[in-house]
Amino acid sequence: MQILEIGLPVLVAGLLILASHIPLGYQVLKRGIVFIDLAIAQVAALGTVLAAQWFSYEDGQWVLQAVAIAFALLGVGFVAWINRSFPKYREAFIGLIYVLAASVLVLLVAGQPKGGQLLTSTLSGDILWLDWQDLILLALVAVLVQLLTHILPEKLERYFYLIFAITITLSVVKAGIYLVFVCLIAPALASIVYNRSNLWSYLVGVFGFVLGLSVAWNFDLPAAACIVVSLILSLLMALILQQQFSRSVAVSQKHSD
């Protein structure tokens, strides 16, 4: 019963994050801005910490998320400007944004008694403690991204930075920076590297998330870290399988010729 009460919301949260992040991951890889989510996630985390200092907890999580989204929108606006003005050096600038936001965050929590715990939370999140109410926004964003991907792909292209900022921010608040980055990049690579069906991305994402969550639950380990490792291992396994299949097909064609 405890597994269902705690584990099921986390599993559903993971599926929702994957549903929104995999299509965005394709866009990130296509645009060549792989580290944008790390930078924007760090800016969003900075906004969350600032909001927690500016407002009391009684003001509600909605206020914290609104401030975090505002910071993320400022971040993606700056990234969009860099992409237009300095396309050749955009990755360098994006890296600087990440380091700047991370350094400011360290300075903000330096004098706080629980500063180290707060920093760890922004990186790894508290995904094991999510409840059903926490999933409402994740579900809305997942549905929106999937609808845009399959019905209005041109809108996803046009408003990519706006959608990206909101999606990443909501996920970072729930799951932390590391898990968000891996959910965005690893499953997408499973389909792109060898030009395979998008189904590979979802298989890798679901398998990796379920495996990592199971390991974390059974061995009492940090959930986000277990899922990150599991997703990367799942990606490597998928790529090895695809490579072996490609070689088998090539050998078969060679013998038939």
Instruction: Kindly list the distances between the CA atom of residue 231 and the CA atoms of 55, 69, 179, 203, 209, in Å, as whole numbers in the listed order.
Output: 36, 26, 9, 10, 6
Distance CA 200, CA 238 (A): 8
Q: What is the pLDDT of residues 75-130, one digit of tens each?
A: 888 888 888 898 888 888 988 999 999 899 888 888 776 666 767 777 777 787 78
Q: What is the pLDDT of residues 39-66, one digit of tens each?
A: 888 888 888 788 777 766 555 667 777 8
Domain for residue 218, yes or no? yes
Distance CA 211, CA 206 (A): 8
> The domain that contains 202 carries what CATH number?
1.10.3470.10
Asked if residues 181 and 37 have their Cβ atoms less than 8 Å apart, the reply is yes
Domain for residue 256, yes or no? no
Domain count, the chain: 1
Asked if residues 115 and 204 have their Cβ atoms less than 8 Å apart, the reply is no
Helix axes 36-54, 61-85, angle to 10 degrees: 140
Q: Cα angle vertex 13, ends 51, 143, to 5°? A: 90
Q: How many helices and strands (H and E) does the chain possess?
A: 12, 0
Range of the domain at 175: 2-243
Instruction: Report yes or no on whether pTM surpasses 0.85.
Output: yes
Closest CA to 95 of 36, 160, 140: 36
What's the token pair of residue 91? 């990755």
Domain for residue 250, yes or no? no
| pLDDT band with cut points at 50, 70 and 90 for residue 205 | very high
Q: What backbone torsions phi and psi does residue 176 show, to the nearest 5 degrees?
A: 90, 165
Q: What is the pLDDT of residues 126-183, one digit of tens each?
A: 787 788 888 999 999 999 999 999 999 999 999 998 999 999 888 887 888 899 999 9
Domain for residue 81, yes or no? yes
